[in-house]
Chain A
């Protein structure tokens, strides 16, 4: 069982874009420790010869024809936006670059 440090949890929170207080990080790293200990059991039977299953019911090649269907009206598209301007979603300044 691998130990998970508070720093690791902080990094996970950063990846997951969730601000966390020190108290939250402390609490969560303790819980993660316990949960990971329990779920690590999967490794006992997951041998190399077992293929992974990602879809419970195997289906292939589900596609749609390349046909345009009406979009939402811009009003509907923007209806849930916390802020909008010039028919666009208005968001706080984007600092990073992808």
Chain B
């Protein structure tokens, strides 16, 4: 048993008592110790809590109790989900030292499933960014090339997987924050249907777009984690009261014969790196070999998705982030006894928020303000309708849609940090999914010829048909594995000190 195994293999070894949960957690902590000084995937390690949980799982197993399939398998949790008593920062200085008094529903479900939470992973501040450079605690480095970004906002979770610091991770995806990091690190990430996984305890960036989801190194692991965290939550009004599709069975089926797969015309061409398009096309060819039928579809309004997103997300964030005012939690700046509450709020928010967060709050405040609402926020909501219609029409013709996940492979740290618009373009292929609330998966489909860096393949499913992503993803993964002869992460350079 090694930290390079899949979560499913680890679960099996645990079930057979070939390894204990405590040993498995310790192996991962050893790897974190060895590589995380270079990768910086974690913001906080909850070693005591994790080992106590692992020990309790081991005891239960020894006592013959029936355990969940992933019981005892370690996981890295994106620092945007609250965990009772464990520091939760959202990558922001604003929340430095804050220990939430409650568990997010996702966290409660992980605990119930006996999944061992190793620690909290790095992210762009309040999930705003595509590179994890916007973390107040320093960037995360891509294990494929430490000078490059691991994607964002969930770069910490993706890097932890790619660096074998954890076999499972939780991410959140508002415009691509699970899928784009998965793409640039050669890992798997799924943004479930909006409402499929509870948002209770997920610190909100953009409420109508945010969705927590599973991340792992294989499609099956991702499905198993998906199954563990999904389901209706009465604490989240937008949660869907609908049975979770059997994603694990779908991931295992590996049969796409006769399936209609739509290629979205608008998600290719200008702006897409040559090597990315090539690997995407190779993967499509694999699916054809497996018996899938390829249909080209047009979604003309996707062209406006990025613009709509950069109005809706900032608008909602300007309101969601208003509560960070230093009155009830978080840091407080300038309270010297002479200043009023308003001034202290202003100073705290000046110091506590980073540049990107401020930029979006100001943009959102503008888009919602009287006189501009209809032109900006209102228009963006209309574009959302048009994009939904595009999806509806496309899904009439095919079972899933596919595209490259990100237009380029991982870029250099610092390369785009002075150009917000260039940065926003990273999400061009992932954003339509969030606007329409449908499902999206990214899985690795090869290394780009020009830079030998991972390329992500995106599969989009209709709402509440998340199993279709796993069906296609599982089949494609198996085909590519036999083509390459080994898992794609085995092509990555070995990190110094790695176990």
Query: Within the complex, are A and B direct neighbours (CB within 8 Å)?
Result: yes
Task: Judge whether A28 and B365 touch: CB under 8 Å.
Answer: no
Task: Judge whether A28 and B359 touch: CB under 8 Å.
Answer: yes
Q: Hey, which chain B residues are within 8 Å of A9, CB to CB?
A: 362
Tell whether A76 is near chain B: CB-to-CB under 8 Å. Answer: yes
User: Do A13 and B362 contact each other (CB < 8 Å), given the known contacts A44-B304, A55-B238?
Assistant: yes
Chain B contact patch, size range: 35 or more
Tell whether A68 is near chain B: CB-to-CB under 8 Å. Answer: no
Measured CA separation A91–B335 after assembly (Å): 9
- The total of chain A residues at the interface (CB under 8 A) is 54
Task: Judge whether A95 and B340 touch: CB under 8 Å.
Answer: yes
In the complex, which of the residues A36, A45, A92 contacts B335, with contact meaning CB atoms closer than 8 Å? A92
In the complex, which of the residues B328, B388, B436 contacts A89, with contact meaning CB atoms closer than 8 Å? B328
Measured CA separation A52–B238 after assembly (Å): 18
Task: Judge whether B365 and A12 touch: CB under 8 Å.
Answer: yes
Nearest Cβ in chain B — how far from A39, in angstroms? 4
Task: Judge whether B350 and A45 touch: CB under 8 Å.
Answer: no
Task: Judge whether B345 and A17 touch: CB under 8 Å.
Answer: yes
Measured CA separation A44–B150 after assembly (Å): 35
A-B contact count (CB 8 A): 185
Task: Judge whether A35 and B386 touch: CB under 8 Å.
Answer: no
Residue in chain B with minimal CB distance to A4:
B366
Task: Judge whether B369 and A53 touch: CB under 8 Å.
Answer: no
Task: Judge whether A56 and B437 touch: CB under 8 Å.
Answer: yes
Q: Hey, which chain B residues are within 8 Å of A23, CB to CB?
A: none
Q: Hey, which chain B residues are within 8 Å of A56, CB to CB?
A: 194, 208-209, 384, 388, 434-438, 463
Tell whether A3 is near chain B: CB-to-CB under 8 Å. Answer: no
In the complex, which of the residues B340, B343, B382, B421 contacts A50, with contact meaning CB atoms closer than 8 Å? B382
Contact with B along A52-80 (1 / 0, CB 8 A): 11111101001010000000100011011
Tell whether B30 is near chain A: CB-to-CB under 8 Å. Answer: no
Interface centre among B322, B362, B437, B438 (most CB of A within 10 A): B362
In the complex, which of the residues B208, B240, B331, B345 contacts A54, with contact meaning CB atoms closer than 8 Å? B208
Q: Hey, which chain A residues are within 8 Å of B359, CB to CB?
A: 28, 31-32, 35
Q: Hey, which chain A residues are within 8 Å of B144, CB to CB?
A: none
The B interface is mostly helix, strand or loop, or mixed, namely helix
Task: Judge whether A64 and B436 touch: CB under 8 Å.
Answer: no
Beta-carbon contacts under 8 Å, B227-253 to A: 234, 237-238, 240
Q: Hey, which chain A residues are within 8 Å of B346, CB to CB?
A: 17-19
Residue in chain A with minimal CB distance to B362:
A12
Residue in chain A with minimal CB distance to B377:
A52
Measured CA separation A52–B308 after assembly (Å): 12
Contact with B along A8-36 (1 / 0, CB 8 A): 11001101111110001000100110111
In the complex, which of the residues A34, A44, A81, A95 contacts B341, with contact meaning CB atoms closer than 8 Å? A95
Contact with A along B365-383 (1 / 0, CB 8 A): 1100100000110111111
Q: Hey, which chain A residues are within 8 Å of B388, CB to CB?
A: 53, 56
Task: Judge whether A82 and B330 touch: CB under 8 Å.
Answer: yes
Q: Hey, which chain A residues are within 8 Å of B358, CB to CB?
A: 18, 20, 24, 28
Measured CA separation A46–B376 after assembly (Å): 10
Beta-carbon contacts under 8 Å, B340-356 to A: 340-347, 349-350, 353
Nearest Cβ in chain B — how far from A2, in angstroms? 8
Tell whether A43 is near chain B: CB-to-CB under 8 Å. Answer: yes
Tell whether B193 is near chain A: CB-to-CB under 8 Å. Answer: yes
In the complex, which of the residues A41, A42, A62, A92 contacts B339, with contact meaning CB atoms closer than 8 Å? A92
Beta-carbon contacts under 8 Å, B88-104 to A: 98-102
Measured CA separation A20–B359 after assembly (Å): 12
Residue in chain A with minimal CB distance to B436:
A56
Tell whether A93 is near chain B: CB-to-CB under 8 Å. Answer: yes
Task: Judge whether A57 and B308 touch: CB under 8 Å.
Answer: no
Task: Judge whether A79 and B385 touch: CB under 8 Å.
Answer: no
- Which chain A residues have a beta carbon within 8 Å of chain B's beta carbons? 4, 8-9, 12-13, 15-20, 24, 28, 31-32, 34-36, 38-47, 50-57, 59, 62, 64, 72, 76-77, 79-83, 89, 91-96
The 9 closest A-B pairs by CB, nearest first: A56-B437, A80-B329, A52-B381, A46-B379, A46-B382, A19-B350, A82-B332, A95-B340, A76-B101
- Which chain B residues have a beta carbon within 8 Å of chain A's beta carbons? 98-102, 193-195, 208-209, 234, 237-238, 240, 301, 304, 306-308, 310-311, 318, 322, 325-332, 335, 337, 339-347, 349-350, 353, 358-359, 361-363, 365-366, 369, 375-376, 378-386, 388, 420-421, 434-438, 463
